[in-house]
Amino acid sequence: MRTVSIVGARPQFVKLAPVSRAMSCAQDQGRPAIEDFIVHTGQHYDPGLSDIFFSELDIPAPGIDLNIGSGAHGEQTARMLQGIERVLLDIQPDMVVIYGDTNSTLAGALAASKLHIPIAHIEAGLRSFDRAMPEEINRVVSDHVSDILFAPTTTAMENLGNEHLSDRSILVGDVMLDAIRFNSSLSLLKSKILDKLQLEGQRYGVATLHRAANTDSGRLRLLLDSLNRVASDYLPVVFPVHPRTVARISTECPDWKPGPRLMVVDPVGYLDMIRLTEIASVVLTDSGGLQKEAFFLNTPCITLRDETEWPETVDGGGNILVGTSQDKIHQAVGKVLSLAADGDSKPSFSAEKYFGDGDAAGKIVAEIADFLSR
């Protein structure tokens, strides 16, 4: 059986890793062998956003890198679509596997569906119900043209049901939980980030910021000032800055400067990010993936958005949605830190209750093998 996995952006490499590993074990488990050809669109091309994930997560090298790079949405997606179509015509796979909700996901979905190749969508059914987000369009279109929808949570299953997609949907749990469970002892062993940033034994927070709605608007300055205020009033904050955010800071607010306790660093690899997140007292982010990673690692998260695709993290007591108001952000950090000071150990957010048993990838591969044998 031949599959093609299409990825291109940082969060997709994390989702691919457990699936790729499970595919390579399929034959040992009495299933037909699955030969997976990885197409890297090149959406993320900086080594710190791409290569390091392949090496740390032990993902096989891509069969092809389309080197598409950055661009406006239409232009970037169109170039991916052209490149992916050529590869699919050449390889003639039995199935295409797409991951998450980036422009690479959308291009893979469109190219495969036009060629009538069955599609499996991993992390299907997520909805923010905000069509202004490029990712929301990518999710909706990808789900509707896919043949198997692998949902990470019951909420995702309900969303798919509401769009009349139940007959194609399977609840498998979250492959990002698989990735954390597989890699957290490795990160303890290998990551030197706390030492490098001189944070060993210290309280600190971690912040990330890259959503278009936050970076490509007047909100950017407010959010950056909020991070400075949190760092100055409460605790040092490590801020690995996404290249999109670096680019926007230089055009929107070139005079902005981080305060002394806001530690601006380059993007970090997966093992360092897990380590930083696990030991942090609080995470501030607009990333979907990091909201979950914080939850899986029992670190309280404050989400700098008005809505989340991961309401389980809020219901489970691990995430506070604050939007972008400086005062709300500040109060939320104060609340999280005072709760931590009252208790003597880390909270426990019961990842398994909402996100499966840490073997979503095994279930996905079993279903793919079954689908292709029919």
Between 135 and 143, CB nearer to ligand UD1: 135
183-to-177, 180, 272 alpha-carbon distances in Å: 10, 5, 11
Report in angstroms how near the CB of residue 77 gets to ligand UD1 at its nearest: 9
Minimum Å distance from CB 10 to ligand UD1?
A: 4
How many binding residues for ligand UD1 (CB under 6 A)? Answer: 19
Single out the catalytic residue among 164, 210, 242, 330: 210
Among 55, 67, 70, 154, interactor with ligand UD1 by CB under 6 A: 70
Kindly state the tokens that stand for 163: 């769009």
Nearer to ligand UD1, 142 or 281 (CB): 142
Nearest to ligand UD1 of 247, 366 (CB atom): 247
Place of tokens 């007591």: 317
Q: Does 123 bind ligand UD1 (CB under 6 A)?
A: no
Residue from 60, 63, 161, 243 in contact with ligand UD1 (CB under 6 A): 243
Please identify, among the stretches 7-15, 88-96, 148-156, 191-199, the one whose residues bind ligand UD1 according to the rule CB under 6 A: 7-15
Should residue 79 be labelled a site residue for ligand UD1 when binding is judged by CB under 6 A?
no
In the complex with ligand UD1, the residue whose CB is nearer, 269 or 362, is: 269
Binding of ligand UD1 by 305 (CB under 6 A): no
* Concatenated DSSP letters of 23-88: HHTTGGGTSPP-EEEEEE--SS-STTTTHHHHHHTTPPPPSEE-------HHHHHHHHHHHHHHHH
291 binds ligand UD1 (CB under 6 A): no
Helix (H) or strand (E) holding 89: helix 73-91
116 is catalytic: no
- In the complex with ligand UD1, the residue whose CB is nearer, 242 or 363, is 242
Question: Which residue reads 């959503």 in tokens?
Answer: 211
208 forms bridges with which residues in the sheet? 285
Check if the beta carbon of residue 221 is closer than 8 Å to that of residue 227: no
Q: How far is the CB of 12 from ligand UD1 (least distance, A)?
A: 8
> Nearest approach, Cβ of 251 to ligand UD1 (angstroms)?
10
User: What binding mask, one character per residue, do residues 42-61 give for ligand UD1 by CB under 6 A, x or -?
Assistant: -xxxx--x------------
Residue 281 in the binding site for ligand UD1 (CB under 6 A): no
Which residues from 223-242 bind ligand UD1, rule CB under 6 A? 242
Q: What is the DSSP string of 241-256?
A: PPHHHHHHHHHH-TT-
Question: DSSP readout, 172-232?
Answer: ---HHHHHHHHHHHHHHHH--HHHHTT-TT---EEEE---HHHHSSTHHHHHHHHHHHHHH
Question: Considering the complex, what minimum distance in angstroms separates the CB of residue 206 from ligand UD1?
Answer: 15
What's CA 296's distance to the chain center, in Å?
Answer: 13
Q: Which is nearer to ligand UD1, 267 or 362 (CB)?
A: 267
For the CB of residue 244, give the shortest distance to ligand UD1 in the complex, in Å.
4
Report the distance separating Cα 130 and Cα 36, nearest Å: 34
User: Which residues does residue 264 pair with via DSSP β-bridges, in sequence order?
Assistant: 239
Q: Is 207 in the site for ligand UD1 (CB under 6 A)?
A: no
Which residues, at least 6 apart from 297, have a Cβ–Cβ distance to it below 8 Å?
180, 184, 274, 277, 278
Alpha carbon of residue 137 to chain centroid: 17
| Contact status: 103 vs ligand UD1 (CB under 6 A) | yes
Rounded least distance, CB 273 to ligand UD1, Å: 12
Which run of H or of E encompasses 140?
A: helix 134-145
Question: Among all residues, which ones are annotated catalytic?
Answer: 210
